[in-house]
Amino acid sequence: MNLSTFFAEVHPILSGERAAGKRRDFGSEDLLRLSAQLSRSKRSQILAAVYPKTRSALLARLGEAEWRRLESSYFRRHPPRSFSFLECARGFAGDLRRSDRCPPWARELAELELALSEVYVAATARPSAPPAGELRLNPTLRFLTASHALLEWLPSGGGEPPSRQCVILIWRDSKLETRLCEVEGLALAMLAGVQENGSVDPSIGDGLDIWPDLQRLAEALIDSDVIQRNPSPTSGFTSRPTSRF
């Protein structure tokens, strides 16, 4: 048997994609079964590595057979064409939308886990500070809109997450730790201002008696490295009139 024939005819059997049928030239049939089983389990490790909590939640809710079906269906549509588990698994979160049996919160959980993995390995920004006088968003920052309170639910992971519209921030801080938190309207308005103008829009609190709260919020976002500022004492947020912040 030449190598071309080997890869065409034997490889699908060794890798567990096809049964051996009448072939009896692999030596032990038990060892061939073991080989195919181990090979298939290697592929399963891809989704387990990138979506561990989604996998556990769906195994508990839908059972192993349905999880296997989701996994096989995904890899049929997206054969692993990269050595990177993250690249091979990237489409799974979106693919879950095709499944009638997958609850919407599990799709959101998958999107959250994908974002966590992407942020963990995202390019490290050059250590340069933003231009003097400007604020900027952490370059790794991601926004995830969800209709379930995933962060409230994740510590226990039992049952289902409560329904609630929310926005989750995912980012990597200056100690290279991946972090996430849920934010509400004011923080989002503040982040939008930083993204668009490199500053906090001083009008976001107009008509509200919340300046101390806004200031604390801005400092918290800076302390946690969601917003980055030039360390110059005359720049960014601190250059705003203190009467406004």
Partner 1 sequence: MPRDVTGVGVGVRMEFAQELLDTERQVDWLEITPENWMVAGGKNAWLLAELSRRWTIVPHSVSFSIGGPDPLDEELLAQAFAVIEAVDPPFWSDHLSYSRVGGVYTHDLLPLPFTDEAASHVAERAASFRSRLEVPLLLENPTLYAIPPGSEMSECEFIGASLRASGCEMLLDVNNVYVNSLNHRYDARRFIDQLPLEKVRQIHLAGHTRKGQFVIDTHRGPVPEPVWDLYRYVLRRASSPIPTLIEWDVDIPPLGVLIDEVERARACCREVFGPP
42, 77, 97, 244: which one binds partner 1 (CB under 8 A): 42
3: contact with partner 1 by CB under 8 A: yes
**Distant-in-sequence, close-in-space partners of 80: CB < 8 Å, separation ≥ 6:** 43, 46, 88
176: contact with partner 1 by CB under 8 A: yes
The window from 84-92, 94-102, 106-114, 217-225 that contacts partner 1 (CB under 8 A) reads: 84-92
Judged by beta carbon, residue 120 or residue 245, the one nearer partner 1 is 120
18, 26, 133, 179: which one binds partner 1 (CB under 8 A): 26
83: contact with partner 1 by CB under 8 A: yes
In whole angstroms, how close is the CB of 113 to partner 1 at the nearest point? Answer: 16
Q: Which two tokens stand for residue 108?
A: 């959101």
Q: Which CB contacts under 8 angstroms, 24+ apart, belong to 54-60?
A: 54/93, 54/96, 54/106, 54/109, 54/110, 54/113, 56/157, 57/106, 57/109, 57/157, 58/102, 58/106
Sign of the CA dihedral 8, 9, 10, 16? Answer: positive
128: contact with partner 1 by CB under 8 A: no
Strands 135-137 and 178-183: unpaired
C-beta of residue 236 within 8 angstroms of C-beta of residue 190: no
SS3 93: helix
**Distant-in-sequence, close-in-space partners of 75: CB < 8 Å, separation ≥ 6:** 43
46, 58, 70, 106: which one binds partner 1 (CB under 8 A): 46
By CB under 8 A, what part of segment 195-224 binds partner 1?
A: none
21, 79, 127, 212: which one binds partner 1 (CB under 8 A): 79
In whole angstroms, how close is the CB of 142 to partner 1 at the nearest point? Answer: 14
Binding site for partner 1 (CB under 8 A): 1-7, 10-11, 14-15, 23, 25-28, 30-32, 34-36, 38-39, 42-43, 45-46, 79-85, 88, 119-125, 172, 176-177
